[in-house]
Amino acid sequence: MNATAPSSVAGKGLARSPGALSGIKVIDLTRVLGGPYCTMILSDHGAEVIKIEPPQGDETRDWGPPFRDSDASYYIGVNRNKRAMSLDIGKPDGRAVLLRLLEGADVLVENFKPGSLEKWGLSYEEVLSDRFPTLIHCRISGFGASGPLGGLPGYDAILQAMTGLMSVNGNADTGPMRLGTAIVDMGTGLYAAIGILMALHERSVSGRGQYLDMTLYDCGLALLHPQAANYFLNGKRPVGTGNVHPNLVPYDKFATKTCEIFIASGNNGQFRRMCELIGRPDLADDPRFADNGKRNVNRDALGAALAKAFAEHDGNELADRLIRNGVPAGPVLPVDQATAAPHTAHRDMVTELNWYKGIGTPIKMSRTPGGTRRPPPRFGQDGAAILAQHGYSDAEIGVLERAGVLHTKRRS
């Protein structure tokens, strides 16, 4: 079970409390990103997460380099604080083990293709809800089970394309571009975690579990702000604007003598202070730039004037001076510099335990802080212990392993 990291353990961003979700048991049948990201959020805050992989394993274990002991960084980055086992639930005995593990479980999270659990006789409506009336079953899929695209598989980049996110990224020169992070997968993981917490809260009132139908398609559309809001109001198709904002000006990246910085001026007061701090107070008095609406219409002229002014400054010094004077600004940092920044360390946003190093939990709680309890598990490393915890004898575990139900080595 997930435990508080002992106070004697050295590391960074470690869990020093049982966590807000201590006592919650999660059976995790997910692979790749959206589901594992969801369950890592829950495990960071004390939920006991049992990650059950198919015999071939979570495919992200192969998504490298870089690797550590044959596990890729892609897998390592979203699977801490979990225990792992491998079951072949395509076999009747595997499904029997799964049902036994679900006894006393609060949450089941899975991302099988819609219809898979039903095919195996594990439908929520017909089986799970009757046998486990308090269970919260969260399914993550590409498009859901019904509708014109129902049952089809979902992949982050394809969903970025189909939900409009790609069309508003990039600019006129590049055309639509994929966001560098898997925003749909991770956004779906976040929405799924929120949905699970809502269902847990509702269960505390009703005493009943429920089914959560989470799709990448829905979550991708839900991230279309402000582009969808703009379109619904003005009827104009949003396009990729690169770094600039479709509504706010100036909101862009500018080169300086030492680095690039980003400016996000949201009101007239901020704009005036920015102009004063870069040595161009006259721009704030120019009628073409009197308010955000006028600055938007005249964004090209303003951008040219600002680019010339910023080029004369030290970027890091100027960005710090701007933000400390109420103007949103920051240097454009590469990943190595961002993760090594002093404020990153202050916020415990890089966590370390033994060999493991990752991005820490952004959810900071005063009484029940979460954090790292255990490194990401190797394939099948906890199978025997998990089964023993659920009442299986050594002899029964051996039978399951010899029958190809329980796996300790990945099937190629």
List the catalytic residues.
185
Angle at 300 (CA atoms; ends 296, 305), nearest 5 degrees: 110
Residue 167 to residue 175: CA distance in whole angstroms: 7
Listed in sequence order, the residues at least 6 apart from 232 whose beta carbon sits closer than 8 Å to its beta carbon are none
Please give the C-alpha separations between residue 410 and each of 48, 54, 63, 70, 175, in angstroms, as whole numbers: 23, 9, 15, 11, 42
Distance (Å, rounded) from C-alpha 232 to C-alpha 255? 35
Stated length of the chain: 412
Reply yes or no: is the peptide bond before residue 226 cis, omega within 30 of 0: yes
Q: How far apart are CA 52 and CA 27, in angstroms?
A: 7
Residues contacting residue 47 through CB under 8 Å, at least 6 positions apart = 2, 19, 21, 22, 24, 25, 26, 39, 107
Token pair 């899929």: residue: 141
Residue 329's φ and ψ, nearest 5 degrees, are -160, 150
Residue 18: cis peptide before it, omega within 30 degrees of 0: no
